[in-house]
């Protein structure tokens, strides 16, 4: 797709997504919109997709493994909750979440990337558990297992976002800006370097690409996406406790990106959609949901390692060839 | 001082169990580049196999332990090798990593849904009687755990270094291509590695469950400790995994007594970060040349 068509398709998708929760029957379209819970799930999907985009940058473009994305979401969420409770504006909290998680990403990635390929996975694994311990034990600041409640939704340019549809639009706006930024990065020479790196690190290095610097920046940027997603998560749920930021959810972030299609641009959105919607659909099955999900992942890895997007592309191109 | 000695001995006992899990993890990595993120669950499952044999089928205690080891070798050794690792090994490391993460969820949820979400008591071979030597009292069960684990490790080391098959396995781990040229049946050696890993995990499981109870979520901590032990000791050395396991067992016990129970879990993780910062090849590891 050329730059112009992909931008146009993106814009059309954005308008469509903005209209999904709205009741359109007043203007003659028989569509009732979404109820409160539906809008909440849709917003949660966007927030999850932002964090998943970060994982995709790390896994799909820089070829590393991260097992701490939920911890970074947690850092952003706690920071935002604490900062806004102290009376500071949401914008400050959002920026601080992004900057802090970026800095932590650099600090973690720098030593880990000096060593073997998989050491980043182990360092992030350790970091993930450490963060969870801090969230749970430091009651004076995080509220421990009781968490922090009544986190206020912010207002945007004097426009209060208490209403769930308005908050959804706000998150949609931020998500689309962040998607655009990532799309631009991936297409820039910087992003091309990532792809070169993933395809053939040795050749990339011989072409003068500083592999370690690029990988480090990709990792830190991916972490920052997690932090900023967390900053939106706190006012969305209005309550945070340590459990969604534990090691298990971090692993699920990895799985959702690969299920969606790692290294593809749409992959994180598809993966986040499956991860957020599947438990809703399988609600009747309750505890079986994770079991089914795990089997699905294993089958996909064995037969379609390209994920959902890879599978769709393969089917579409085959059809085109016929 | 006697307190310290007591803690040291019980730390060595749990550390020896961690070492068993860490050795298996290292062996798998060496021979088949498989980073097994389900290693913790591999240590959790065999105890439940024994419980199923005892409670559902009424098998006596000792035979059900043997059944658990056998079942673990079939399920977590042979089936893991051919159903999960086999089809994925050529696709690179990432799909395999993802698949073992999914496997860890699958094993955990299966035990929770099909057996129980509650922690289960697990019988022990040796009674919990205390024996006191020079003011230091140690439980017989702890000494037993230490002895069984150490004997297993010594047997394994003898097998790897002293038998023809063991040396062929080491050759496979170091360089599969050259090993194949020299006539080593590489595929069979890889299968042996998976069997040994499953057996070691089962031993660890049967030794650790009487102490910490058998619970579906045990694998999270155990797996983490196995990774940390393997990396701290040196990823490419079996003796590294042994040293790492023992070190973490002791540190863990001392931390619980002298630091704080809330941050007890953090001690091995901080150790991991320090090792990666200052001695990335691990305490006993040798530097690896960069593979081109």
Q: ipTM value, please give it.
A: 0.85
How many CB pairs lie under 8 A apart between chains A and B?
112
User: Cβ contact (<8 Å) for B101 and A251?
Assistant: yes
pLDDT of residue A320: 67
Same domain assignment for residues A218 and A198: yes
User: Cβ contact (<8 Å) for A122 and B272?
Assistant: yes
Chain A residues with CB-CB distance to B263 below 8 A: 133, 137
**B112 is a domain residue:** yes
**Band of the pLDDT at B290, cuts 50, 70, 90?**
very low
The pair of three-digit structure tokens given for residue B278, joined into one six-digit string: 């200052």
- Measure CB to CB from residue B276 to each of A123, A129, A130 and give the nearest one: A123
pLDDT at A176 over 60: yes
Same domain assignment for residues A50 and A76: yes
Residues 6+ apart with CB under 8 A from A168: A21, A39, A42, A43, A46
How many of the other CB atoms lie within 10 Å of CB of B80? 23
- Report the residue of A60, A130, A279, A301 to disrupt the B interface, i.e. the one with the largest count of B CBs within 10 Å: A301
Taking only the tens place, the pLDDT of each residue in B109-157 is 999 888 988 888 888 877 777 777 777 777 888 888 889 888 998 999 8
pLDDT of residue A53: 95
pLDDT at A253 over 90: yes
- Report the residue of B80, B93, B99, B102 to disrupt the A interface, i.e. the one with the largest count of A CBs within 10 Å: B102
**B133 is a domain residue:** no
Cα–Cα nearest to A54, from A71, A41, A40: A71
Same domain assignment for residues A20 and A85: no
Taking only the tens place, the pLDDT of each residue in A145-157 is 888 888 888 877 7
- Measure CB to CB from residue B101 to each of A123, A255, A287 and give the nearest one: A255
**A291 is a domain residue:** no
Tell me the average pLDDT across B37-45.
94
pLDDT of residue A162: 78
Chain B residues with CB-CB distance to A206 below 8 A: none
Taking only the tens place, the pLDDT of each residue in A69-80 is 999 999 999 999
User: Cβ contact (<8 Å) for A297 and B91?
Assistant: no
User: Cβ contact (<8 Å) for B99 and A301?
Assistant: yes
pLDDT of residue A47: 95
Domain of residue A50 covers 36-253
pTM of the model: 0.89
Query: Mean pLDDT in chain B?
Result: 86
Domain of residue B27 covers 2-126+139-278
**B131 is a domain residue:** no
Same domain assignment for residues A182 and A133: yes
User: Cβ contact (<8 Å) for B263 and A123?
Assistant: no
pLDDT of residue A311: 86
Same domain assignment for residues A16 and A55: no
**B285 is a domain residue:** no
pLDDT of residue A1: 61
Q: How many domains does chain B have?
A: 1
Tell me the average pLDDT across B227-250.
87
CATH number for the domain that contains residue B236:
1.10.3470
């Amino acid at each position: 797709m050329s730059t112009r068509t992909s931008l146009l398709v993106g814009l059309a998708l954005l308008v469509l997504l903005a209209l999904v929760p709205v009741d359109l029957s007043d203007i003659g379209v028989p569509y009732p919109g979404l109820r409160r819970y539906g809008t909440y799930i849709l917003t949660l999907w966007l927030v999850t997709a932002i964090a998943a985009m970060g994982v995709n940058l790390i896994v799909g473009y820089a070829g590393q493994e991260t097992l701490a994305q939920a911890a970074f979401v947690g850092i952003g969420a706690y920071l935002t909750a604490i900062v806004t409770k102290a009376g500071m504006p949401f914008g400050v909290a959002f920026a601080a979440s992004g900057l802090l998680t970026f800095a932590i990403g650099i600090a973690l990635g720098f030593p880990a990337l000096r060593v073997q390929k998989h050491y980043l996975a182990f360092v992030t694994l350790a970091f993930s558990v450490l963060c969870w311990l801090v969230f749970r034990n430091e009651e004076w600041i995080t509220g421990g297992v009781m968490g922090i409640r009544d986190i206020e939704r912010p207002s945007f340019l004097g426009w209060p976002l208490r209403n769930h549809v308005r908050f959804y639009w706000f998150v949609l706006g931020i998500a689309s800006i962040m998607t655009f930024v990532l799309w631009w990065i991936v297409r820039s020479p910087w992003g091309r370097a990532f792809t070169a790196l993933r395809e053939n690190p040795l050749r990339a290095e011989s072409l003068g690409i500083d592999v370690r610097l690029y990988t480090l920046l990709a990792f830190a940027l991916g972490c920052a996406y997690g932090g900023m997603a967390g900053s939106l998560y706190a006012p969305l749920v209005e309550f945070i406790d340590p459990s969604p930021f534990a090691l298990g959810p971090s692993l699920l972030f990895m799985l959702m990106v690969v299920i969606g299609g790692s290294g593809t641009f749409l992959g994180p959105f598809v993966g986040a959609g499956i991860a957020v919607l599947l438990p809703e659909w399988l609600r009747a099955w309750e505890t079986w949901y994770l079991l089914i999900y795990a089997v699905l992942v294993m089958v996909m890895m064995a037969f379609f390692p390209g994920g959902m997007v890879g599978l769709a592309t393969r089917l579409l191109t085959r059809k085109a060839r016929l | 001082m006697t307190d310290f000695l007591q803690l040291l001995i019980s730390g060595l006992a749990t550390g020896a169990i961690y070492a068993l899990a860490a050795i298996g993890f290292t062996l798998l990595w060496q021979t088949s580049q498989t980073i097994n993120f389900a290693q913790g669950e591999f240590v959790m499952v065999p105890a439940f196999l024994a419980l199923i044999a005892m409670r559902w089928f009424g098998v006596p205690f000792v035979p059900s332990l043997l059944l658990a080891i056998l079942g673990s070798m079939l399920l977590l050794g042979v089936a893991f090798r051919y159903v999960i690792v086999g089809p994925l090994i050529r696709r690179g490391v990432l799909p395999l990593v993802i698949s073992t993460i999914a496997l860890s969820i699958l094993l955990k949820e299966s035990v929770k849904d099909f057996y129980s979400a509650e922690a289960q008591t697990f019988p022990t071979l040796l009674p919990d009687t205390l024996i006191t030597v020079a003011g230091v009292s140690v439980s017989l069960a702890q000494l037993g755990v230490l002895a069984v684990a150490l004997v297993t490790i010594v047997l394994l080391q003898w097998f790897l270094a002293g038998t023809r098959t063991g040396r062929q396995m080491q050759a496979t781990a170091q360089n599969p291509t050259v090993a194949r040229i020299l006539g080593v049946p590489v595929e069979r050696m890889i299968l042996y590695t998976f069997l040994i890993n499953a057996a070691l995990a089962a031993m660890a499981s049967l030794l650790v469950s009487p102490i910490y109870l058998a619970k579906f979520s045990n694998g999270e901590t155990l797996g983490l400790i196995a990774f940390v032990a393997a990396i701290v000791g040196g990823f490419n050395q079996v003796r590294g995994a042994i040293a790492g396991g023992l070190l973490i067992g002791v540190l863990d016990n001392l931390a619980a007594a002298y630091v704080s129970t809330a941050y007890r879990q953090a001690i091995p993780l901080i150790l991991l970060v320090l090792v990666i910062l200052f001695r990335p090849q691990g305490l006993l590891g040798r530097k690896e040349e960069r593979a081109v």
